Chains A and B, each alone.
Chain A
Amino acid sequence: MNAPTYNFAYLDEQTKRMIRRAILKAIAIPGYQVPFASREMPMPYGWGTGGVQVTAAILGVTDVLKVIDQGSDDTTNAISIRKFFEKTAGVAVTTSTLDATVIQTRHRIPEAPLHEKQVLVYQVPIPEPLRFLEPRETETRRMHALGEYGLMHVKLYEDIARFGHIATAYAYPVKVNARYVMDPSPTPKFDNPKMDNCPALQLFGAGREKRIYAIPPYTSVVSLDFEDHPFTRYKHDACCALCGAGESYLDEIVTDNAGSRMFVCSDTDFCETRQAEGHRGSESAPYAENRHA
C-alpha cells in the first residue's frame, strides 16, 4: 500500500505555485474572480477549502497564523483548521489579531484594525455576487466583463421600494477599485467599511467554486447604495455583556428557556483583550473578581 506523505502546509509545491499565480492575478485585478484548479482537500467543500488552499499557498515557516469562525478562535471549525496547519506546517499559531501575520476567517473581519504586515484570508462559499440574480456562470461572467451591474441595482432598488431600505444584512455587495462588483463573503454588512482602504492584503478563496479574488492594500471598497439611500452600518441596541464594548458586532445568546438573552462580542480576541485592559460589562463572567454579583 502507498503510505501517504505530505509536503509543508499539505499541498505539493506545484499546486502552491498554481494557486500563487492565481493570487497574483487576483491582486493585479482587484475584485475580479480568477478561476483556479482547486484541489480536493482533506476537509469537506463548503467548510473552508478555498481559504485553506490560499493559506497553504502563502504560508511560510515564520508566519503566525490565526483562524477564526464567526469571529471566534474557539469554534470547532476554526480549531480544526488551525490544528490542520499546526500539524502540516508546524507554524506558530495565535488568537491575537495584532500578532498574527496570516488570519483565516469565516464570516467576520476582526474588530481590531489590521496592519500592513498582515494577510486576511476569507473563506468564500459563493464568490459570485450576481449568482442569486442570475444562476448561469456564462451570463454573470459576461455581466462582469461589460461592467453591467444594472440587475444588482434593480434588486437593491426593489428592496427600497418594498421595505423602505436595502434588505441585505450580510454578503452585502461592494464595488472594488471602482470596477468589479464583489461578494465580501457572508460577513455581516457591519464589517463592510473595514474592507475599504485596508492596510492589509485581503484574499478570498472559494474552493468548491474554484475562484480566488483579492483586495490589495489601500484599495477603495464601496458598499453599493443610492445617493438618497446611503449605506448604513448595522448598529446593535446593546453593549457587550462581558467587556462593555458599544461599537463591536455582538452575538445574541439565549440564556434560559424563558427567552432571556445577553449580547457578547462576536470577536472573542477583541473582547478578551478589552477585558484584560479592565473593561467590564454587565455580566463579565470569565473574570473571577466580578463573580460575586
Chain B
Amino acid sequence: MYVAVKGGERAIENAHRLLAHERRGDRAVPEVSLSQISEQLSLGVDRVMTEGSLYDRELAALAIKQARGDMIEAIFLLRAFRATLPRFGASEPVDTSQMRVRRRISSTFKDMPGGQILGSTFDYTHRLLDPVLTEESMPEQPVLAEAQPAVMPRVTDILGRDGLIESSPAEDAEQPVGDLTRDALSFPAERDLRLQNLARADEGFLLSLGYSSQRGYGRNHPFAGEIRLGEVEVEFMAEDVGFAVPLGAITLTECQMVNQFKGTDTEAPSFTRGYGLAFGQSERKVMSMALVDRALRARELGEDVVAPSQDEEFVLSHSDNVQATGFVEHLKLPHYVDFQSELGLLRKLRKEFHDANSAPDAMKEAAE
C-alpha cells in the first residue's frame, strides 16, 4: 500500500542515491568540470545567474551540473542559496553609458557615435550542425581592433536631445528602490518592482508574451533602439569611508526598445521606452523584457489594457519559473484526502442523478 507501508524514508534516501548515480551518467566518461560549464556553456550560466538573481559564475555552473542541465532546477538551486545570504546594502546604480562595450547594435540608425559593433552573435550564422565540433577542436584566434572610446552614448540619449523620446525618470537618491524579495509584491506595482520581476522572470514566458504583443495582442510598435553588451563597474557607497568603493566589474546586456506613442490631450506624441537588463549575454531575454516592460506601461500611458502582456497582475504573478514549476509539480504530491472528499461528493451527485432520472415522470416534473 502506498500510504500505510512504512519505508518512505528509505525510499527517499535510495531515490537521492539513484539521482546522484544518474547525474554522473556513464562512469567511463570523464566528469564535466565547473570551469568547462562556465567557459563552454556560458550562455546557460548567464541565464541561470540572471533568473537566479545572483552574479556568481562558479555557483551557477555548480547549479547547472547538480541539476543535470535542467535550467529551471539550476535557477531554483541558486535562488534558494541566495535567499540565505545577508543583505548589507544596495550598490550605486550602474551606468551603462560607461560600459566597456563588446557588442552594440541599433536597428534605428545606420550609424551613430561609437558605431555599430557586431561582436559575437549567432545572428548571421547559418544554422548548420557543425561536424567539426563532434571532435575536440581549436578555433582560430579572434581578430583584434583598436579599443573603443571609453564612453559610448546610448542611442536613446541621442533621441532624447531632440525631445523625440520621453526622458528616463531621473534618479532620486532619497527614494528607496523596491525589492520584491524583501517585501511581498502588491498591485498596482511601480516600475522598479515590475522591472525586478521581469529581470527574474522566465525567459520563455517573457519571449512568448513579447511575441504576442508583436502579433497584435497589445501592439506597441517597437524598434530595437539599442542592444549593448559589455562590462560595467559596480560601486558600493561605503558610509564609513564616505565614498563609493568599486566592487568589481560585471557583464551585462541592455536593451532599450523605442516604441510609438500617439500622445494624449496633454502630452505631445513622442517615442516611449521599454527597458531590459540582464546578467551576461542574454539578448533574447532583454529584448523580451523590454517589450513586456513597455506593454506593462499601458496603465501609466493611458492605453487600454486589452492583452495579457499589458495585464500586470497576470504577468507579474505568473512570470517566476521557480514559483510556477513548484506549483505545477506539486500535483505529484499525494492529494488522496481531497480526492476522497471529491470521490464521496461525486458518488453522491451521481446517485442523486440516477435516482432523479429513474423516478416516475410525475415526480420528475415535480422536481423541475
Contacts and interface: CB of A to CB of B under 8 A. Distances in A.
Interface stretch (A57-65, A147-155, A161-169, A220-228): A161-169
A170 interface: yes
Contacts of B58: 1
A273 interface: no
Nearest to A45: B326
A210 B317 CA distance: 11
Contacts of A76: 8, 11-12
Contacts of B18: none
Contacts of B4: 74, 242, 253, 264, 268, 286
Majority secondary structure, A binding face: loop
Nearest to A212: B184
Contacts of A268: 4
A44 B84 contact: no
B337 interface: yes
B148 interface: no
A169 B338 contact: yes
Residue among B1, B5, B328, B341 with the highest chain A CB neighbour number at 10 A: B341
Interface residues of B, number: 53
B352 A164 contact: yes
Contact of A75 (B80, B182, B334, B338): B334
B135 interface: no
Contact of A44 (B56, B182, B186, B326): B326
B338 A186 contact: yes
A2 B337 contact: no
Interface stretch (A23-31, A34-42, A196-204): A34-42
A57 to B, nearest CB: 14
B84 A4 contact: yes
A46 B327 contact: yes
B43 interface: no
B326 A46 contact: yes
Given A107-B337, A208-B323, A208-B326, A38 B184 contact: yes
A36 B323 contact: no
A40 B330 contact: no
A201 to B, nearest CB: 22
A251 B3 contact: yes
Nearest to B86: A12
Majority secondary structure, B binding face: helix
Residue among A40, A46, A164 with the highest chain B CB neighbour number at 10 A: A40
Contacts of A188: 337-338, 340-341
Interface string A164-180: 10010111000000000
B6 interface: yes
Nearest to A82: B9
Contact of A107 (B185, B329, B335, B342): B335
Interface of B: 1, 3-6, 8-9, 11-12, 56, 58-59, 62, 76, 79-84, 86, 181-188, 313, 317, 322-323, 325-330, 333-338, 340-345, 349, 352
Given A75-B3, A234-B344, 11 more contacts: A37-B182, A49-B326, A76-B12, A107-B335, A107-B337, A136-B187, A136-B313, A208-B323, A249-B337, A266-B337, A266-B340
Interface of A: 1-2, 4, 6-7, 10-12, 14, 35-42, 44-47, 49, 69-72, 74-77, 79-80, 83, 106-108, 125, 135-138, 163-164, 167, 169-171, 186-190, 208, 210-211, 234, 236, 242, 249-253, 264, 266, 268, 286
Identify the 10 closest CB pairs spanning chains A and B, nearest first.
Answer: A45-B326, A46-B330, A169-B341, A44-B326, A35-B184, A46-B327, A210-B184, A40-B83, A40-B79, A39-B83
